[in-house]
Amino acid sequence: MHQRVGWNCPIRVGGGTRLKVLDALAMGMPLAGVTFACSGISVQDGKHVPMADSPEAFIDQDLRVLADSVLRANLAAQGRDLVCRDYSWTVVGRNLLLAYGEAASLAARKSESQVRRGRA
């Protein structure tokens, strides 16, 4: 059986890229990526994902990850931990509920202010 030892994300334009990165990290896949593909995700270069923005540097990072089993294991563990800590459904849901609560509170204050001005 073939064991997957890595995944890469050389995507430099397009949409949905960040979900692919998060999916790979959530599965514990070591990942080499370009800055664009990981933008907006709190990954750190070398800790979660070795970054490379030129084709040559990307190939070098990819080969480095493939050649070093300890690096692969560390990237996989750190990436998975990051996703579980910052991007799990529980965390995202909690943040979404907080945002909805803040929006509802702001809307209620705005409505009360408009009612007061209408009475004055």
**Which residues are CB-neighbours of 78 under 8 A, at least 6 positions away?**
47, 48
pTM of the shown model: 0.72
In this prediction, residue 87 carries a pLDDT of 94
- How does strand 7-9 pair with strand 31-33? parallel
Q: Model confidence at 2, in pLDDT bands (50, 70, 90)?
A: very low
Domain boundaries, the chain: 1-87, 88-120
**Which residues are CB-neighbours of 91 under 8 A, at least 6 positions away?**
85
Domain covering 1-87 assigned CATH 3.90.1150.10 in the classification: no
pLDDT digits (tens, 9 = 90+) for 21-69: 999 999 999 988 888 888 899 999 999 999 999 989 989 999 999 999 9
Q: What is the CA radius of gyration of the chain?
A: 21
Angle among Cα 101, 106, 108 to the nearest 5 degrees reads 95
